[in-house]
Structure 1
Amino acid sequence: MKIAVLGTGGGARAHIAKLAALGHEVHVGTRDPQATLARTAPDMMGNAPFGQWLADHPGVALHPFGDAAARGELVINGIDGRNAVAALSAVADRLAGKTLIDYAVPYRYDPDLEHPWPTPWGVMPAMEPVDTDSLGEQIQRALPATAVVKSFVTQEQTTVVDPASVAGGDHTMFVAGDDADAKRQTTDLLTAYGWRDVLDLGPLVCARGMEMYAHLHSAIGFGLGQQFGGHFGIKVMR
């Protein structure tokens, strides 16, 4: 299958490598491929320059966002939350009729807050939107001809692509969206990744809960002594 991954950060790289290992044809989207390949410094999360990483993954193609989206039969959004709506809106015609799996969190970094939450790596980002809207819903409104599914967002992406690395895979992944076929396609991919427990939360409005969980995910990681990210899972017992 031809799958497009939009973004070149650590999460996107986890999906790119896993999809290639599963035998898919992977097309990666970035704003400016030449600029991306020219970078020589680690990104804000400490990941090695993408060009250096890409050299170790032959067969993976890098394109501008629109070209990657056009080539993918299925698209995964790994663009950061602050820029996702604008970047995806600019290539809406290339995404029409396709399933877009969105795992972005609408973080606003360096927020001016009355009561900031200090963390081992700085002030916890604020989320915007929150409560009355979600990034997933904003993307769906911007892309009315695309079936948006919110998923992957309650886990580190390295665990999303390798659920067996935590508790032998005995934990839960979630999906939410307004298109049943798109959710089935997402669940099929999760099954290929190794997930055995995928819980359909219902319509895309449930993306609000998944996105807001990001703060609890961080808090659990801190409680486990993991300063950034978190190698753990959550299980819905029923």
Structure 2
Amino acid sequence: MKIAILGTGAGARQHAARLSALGHQVIVGTRSPDATLARTEPDMMGTEPFAAFHAVHPELTLVTFAEAADAGELIINGIDGTNAVAALTALPAASLAGKVLIDYAVPYIYQQPVDPQHSWPTPWGEMPRLDPVDTDSLAEQIQRALPDTMVVKTFVTQEQETVVNPGEFGGGDHTMFLAGDHEDAKTAAREILTAYGWNDIADLGALAAARGLEMYAHFHTALGLALGSRFGVKIVR
């Protein structure tokens, strides 16, 4: 399958490498391929420049967002939550119409003014706030902006290196969640998750449940900081 991954961050790279290893043709989209390949410094999270990653994975095609979306039979959104809706709606509508879009972005707002009464310091700075939150979600915003696209929210409750290789924890015996309004999109997401090695996939229902999945990001971060390591999550029924 031709799979377009929009974004070149650490999470997008995990999916690109894993899907390529699984035999898919992976097209990576970025705002400017030339600018992306020209960067020589790590990003804000310390991720190495994309050119170094691409040198290890020359089989990956790097093109613009529009070219990737047009070529992909299935789309994975790895654009940061602040810019995702604007970037996706700027694409030609026909390039996304009728396609499944898997969204794993967290709608984090970075570098916001710090209120001392509500400060949450972390090793990398102030914890970003979520927007939207509670009564809406980024996934729902994307779905409203792209009514002809089938949006499904998943991958978002684990670090992406765990998403693509769940066997690192407990032999893979932990739980992944998804939510969406389109059964075809959920089926496509399940197929990818199964190929990654997930055995327990919990369907949370309509896309509105993406609100809970996105808000879980803060709890997951708190757990990771307390444990000092990555971890898996298992729902015991």
Shorter-chain TM band:
over 0.9
- State how far apart, in whole Å, the 2-side matches of 1:64 and 1:121 are: 30
- Pairwise CA distance, 1:111: 2.0
| Secondary structure of 2:48 counterpart | coil
What is the aligned partner in structure 1 of residue 49 from structure 2? 49
Give TM-score scaled by structure 2 length.
0.97
Q: Does 1:174 align with 2:173?
A: no
The Cα of 1:113 is off from its aligned counterpart by 4.2
Name the residue aligned to 2:234. Answer: 235
Supply the distance in 2 between the matched residues of 1:70 and 1:110 (Cα, whole angstroms). 33
**Counterparts in 2 of 1:179-194, with a 5 A limit?**
179-194=182-197
Aligned-partner residue type, residue 232 of structure 1: F
* TM-superposed deviation, 1:52: 1.6
Tell me the CA shift for residue 153 of structure 1: 0.4
Whole-Å Cα distance in 2 between the matches of residues 171 and 206 of structure 1?
19
Match of 2:23 in 1: 23
Structure 1 counterpart SS, 2:46: coil
CA apart distance, 1:168: 0.8
Please give the residue correspondences for 1:207-218 in structure 2 after superposition, counting only pairs within 5 Å. 207-218=210-221
For 2:36 and 2:189, locate their aligned partners in 1 and report how far apart those are by CA, in whole Å: 28
Deviation at residue 123 of structure 1 after TM alignment: 0.6
Judge conservation of contact 2:114–2:126 (CA < 8 Å) in 1: no
1:158 aligns with 2:156: no
Matches of 2:123 and 2:7 in 1, distance apart? 26
Deviations 1:23-81 (A, max 9, x none): 10000000011100111111111111101210110211001001001111111000000
Unaligned runs of 5+ in 1: none
Residue of structure 2 equivalent to 1:128? 131
Q: CA deviation at 1:121?
A: 1.6
Amino acid at match of 1:7: G
- Deviations 1:189-238 (CA, angstroms, capped at 9, x unpaired): 10000000000000000000000000000000011024xxxx21111111
Opposite residue 44 of structure 1, the aligned amino acid is M
Q: Aligned letter for 1:117?
A: W
Alpha-carbon offset, residue 112 of structure 1: 2.2
Q: Name segments (4+ residues, structure 1) moved above 4 Å.
A: none
Separation (CA, whole Å) in 2 of partners of 1:82 and 1:219:
21
Superposed displacement of residue 119, structure 1: 1.2
- Give the partner amino acid of 1:54: H
- Which residue identity is paired with 1:147? M
Q: Measure, in 2, the Cα distance between the counterparts of 1:154 and 1:64.
A: 28
Distance 1:19 1:83 in 2: 24
Gaps of 5+ in 2: none
Aligned equivalents of 1:208, 1:111: Cα separation in 2:
21
1:76 — aligned with what? 76
Q: What is the one-letter code of the residue matched to 2:234?
A: K
Q: Are residue 205 (structure 1) and residue 208 (structure 2) matched?
A: yes
Aligned residue for 2:95? Answer: 94
- Report the Cα distance in structure 2 between the residues aligned to 1:96 and 1:233, rounded to whole angstroms: 34
Q: Percent identity?
A: 65
Count of aligned residue pairs for this structure pair: 234
Cα deviation 1:63-122 (Å, max 9, x = unaligned): 100100111111100000000000000113311110000000000012224311111221
Amino acid at match of 1:36: T
Secondary structure of 2:217 counterpart: helix
- SS of residue matched to 2:201: strand
